[in-house]
Amino acid sequence: MREATAVPALFAFLLSACATTAPVAARPIDPYRDGQWMGRGISYGPHRDGQRPGGPSPTRAQMREDLELLRGRWSLLRIYSADPVAETLISLVREERLPFKILLGAWIAPDAPEENRKQVETAVRLARAHPDVVLGLCIGNETQVSWSDHKVPADVLVGLLREARRGTTLPVSTADDFGFWLEPRSDAVAREVDFIVLHVYAMWNGQPLDRALDFTRGKYEDVVRRHPGIPVVLGEAGWATAKHTEGEQATLIKGQPGEAEQRVFHDQFAGWVERDRIVSTWFEAFDENWKGGPHPDEVEKHWGLFRADRTPKQAVR
């Protein structure tokens, strides 16, 4: 989490003004390059064991190794924060002409206006400098759904979305769970974005493996109907390979975790989004052992298609 700091008076005034300014006309999301569809993607957390956001970061060489593992399988990478790691990734893709586009995030936290502003400013700067690499901006991740541990007021999010959209000609969005996007209060946020980034976790919602794809597809279609005319990117869906026997994950998750189960859902999911040309970013590329609690089976550590040491699980062998 980022520490909260005081808001400069001028920025507070501008943010307030943003919230009452009419949004600009919507911009299309363009998941193509040279006629090739670039819409099948994956969420990329680059931190390895011993690294974490705000702490030790991956080297350029480590990120280059990651991209070699991912190229040819996915063409869209989603990252969650506008920071030096994001800048390194974008420069790697651009300078080495790697076959990726990037959905670039700006991490938005509660009671952190200065850091939020810096995130948006950096995302805008990178988007303006590299419009050939950046597909669009995603301002905030799960900041509105009821169970979020980093909720921000909707008017603050709207102000930041408008600030981002004024700074770039690329499409701008925010990401959240279907539990938010299906609520009436989501309409005010949806009016401010060029596309919706949707999260659907069949596993977290108590679904067994044999109903996981139908559940995911159903929620996607529900959100499309709820917000007609706004493109929907399926920004997170996945299946974990382990879970702890305590806490919410033990009670909410009914489907069996495991590599074989992950492979089944991944193959079903990939077939659907490829066939229907649904822009998506599977969650996620690599296990991230810095996440969640200290227990090694904590579910948040085990969503990757590759282990933290970069060895492949069954779905990508």
CB-based contacts of 101, cutoff 8 Å, min separation 6: 31, 33, 38, 75, 76, 77, 133, 134, 135
Predicted pLDDT at 9:
38
In this structure, is residue 56 part of a structural domain?
A: yes
3-state SS assignment for residue 33: strand
In this structure, is residue 109 part of a structural domain?
A: yes
Model confidence pLDDT, tens digit, residues 155-207: 999 999 999 999 999 999 999 999 999 999 999 999 999 999 999 999 999 99
Predicted pLDDT at 306:
98
What range does the domain containing 98 cover? 28-316
In this structure, is residue 197 part of a structural domain?
A: yes
3-state SS assignment for residue 316: helix
Read off the CATH number of the domain in which 168 is found.
3.20.20.80
In this structure, is residue 5 part of a structural domain?
A: no
pLDDT exceeds 80 at position 12:
no
- Can you read off the two tokens belonging to residue 134? 């950046």
Model confidence pLDDT, tens digit, residues 257-282: 999 999 999 999 999 999 999 999 99
Model confidence pLDDT, tens digit, residues 88-145: 999 999 999 999 999 999 999 999 999 999 999 999 999 999 999 999 999 999 999 9
3-state SS assignment for residue 281: strand
Predicted pLDDT at 26:
86
Predicted pLDDT at 106:
98
3-state SS assignment for residue 46: coil
Domains held by the chain: number: 1
Model confidence pLDDT, tens digit, residues 213-261: 999 999 999 999 999 999 999 999 999 999 999 999 999 999 999 999 9
SS (H, E, C) 108-153: CCCCCHHHHHHHHHHHHHHHHHCCCCEEEEEEEECCCCCCCCCCCC
> What is the sign of the dihedral through the CA atoms of 82, 176, 51 and 313?
negative
CA of residue 15 relative to chain centroid, distance: 24
